[in-house]
Structure 1
Amino acid sequence: MEFKESQAIYLQIADHLCEQILLDKWKPDDRIPSVRELAVQLEVNPNTVMRTCEYLQQYDIIYNKRGIGYFVSENASKKIIQLKKERFLANELPQFFRNMYLLDMELDELKPHYEKYKKSNFK
C-alpha cells in the first residue's frame, strides 16, 4: 500500500479496511486479519495498525474479542458510510464548492459527468 503525505498513515489504513468492508470482502462478524498480519501485509509498524483498530473500534466499525482478534461489527457498513459522509461534507465539499464558484459552474452542469462516471466505473 502506498501512503500519501497529506493524511496520517493510521487513517489511510482505516480507509483501506473500511473499503474492504464496503466491498463485502469482510462481512458482519467476520474476523479481520490480526494486527501482526496487517502490519506485515501493509509494511507498517504493528503499533500503527493497533492505532487504526482502536480508531475503528471507537466508531463501532470493528469490535475486539479478547484473545481472539478483531471482528466486523453488525452495522459496520452503515457506520462507515455515515463517517465518510461526515468527513466528505466537512473536508472535501467546501473545496469542491470553492472550485465550482471560481470556475463559474453550476450543479446542473455536473450531473451528466456524474452519470457517465457511474456508468463507466460501477457496472
Structure 2
Amino acid sequence: MVEQFSSTQPIYMQLVQRVCRQIVRNEVQPGEKLPSVRDLAVQFGVNPNTVQRVNMELERMGIIESRRGQGMFVTEDQPRLIMMREQLKEELVTRFADEMRDVGFTDEEIVASVRSHLEKSPDQ
C-alpha cells in the first residue's frame, strides 16, 4: 500500500513521525524488530534510501537501535520512550493551542471547549 504524504514536510520526517506514533500507540512494542529497509520502502512506496534516512534519524533520536547482523529494533529504554511520548503530546497541544489562538479564541474558551468535547466523547 502506497502511503499519502504532505508536500509541506520532507517525506523522511513524515515517516519518522509515523513510526513514533506507532510506538506511542503500542502498535510497535519496545524491543520489537522493525521490518527491513526494503520491506518498509515497498510498504511506504518510497526509495530505500529514504527509509535508511528514517532509520538513521530514529537511531539518532534513541528511538531505535541497530543490532549487528539482526536489524533495527525499537529501544527498550522506557525513560526514552516516555520522553518521546511527552514530546509528542507537547507538540500536539502547542500546535492546537496556537491555531485556536490564531483564530481568536481565548485560553478560557479553548479549555472549556476541550473539556466539553472530552465529556461527550467516549473514552478511548
Aligned-residue sequence identity (percent) comes to: 32
Q: Which residue of 1 aligns with 2:109?
A: 105
Cα 1:116–1:55, aligned 2, differ >3 Å: closer, same or farther?
farther
Shift of 1:110: 3.0
Q: Which residue of structure 2 aligns with residue 67 of structure 1?
A: 69
Q: How many residues in Structure 1 have an aligned counterpart in Structure 2?
A: 119
Aligned CA distance change for structure 1 residues 73 and 111 (closer, same or farther; 3 Å):
same
2:87 corresponds in structure 1 to 83
2:41 alignment partner, one of 36, 39, 42? 39
**TM norm structure 1:** 0.79
User: Which of 93, 98, 119 is 2:97 aligned to?
Assistant: 93
- Residues 64 and 71 of structure 1 are in contact (CA less than 8 Å); yes or no, is this contact kept in structure 2? yes
2:21 — aligned with what? 19
TM-score, normalised by the number of residues in structure 2: 0.78
- How many Å apart are 1:90 and its aligned residue? 5.1
Calculate the aligned-residue CA RMSD, in Å: 2.4
Contact 2:100 2:110 in 1 (8 A): no
* Structure 2: gaps spanning 5 or more residues: none
Inter-CA distance 40–109: structure 2 relative to 1 (3 Å threshold): closer
Measured in 1, the distance between the counterparts of 2:43 and 2:57 equals 19
Structure 2 SS opposite 1:101? coil
Unaligned runs of 5+ in 1: none
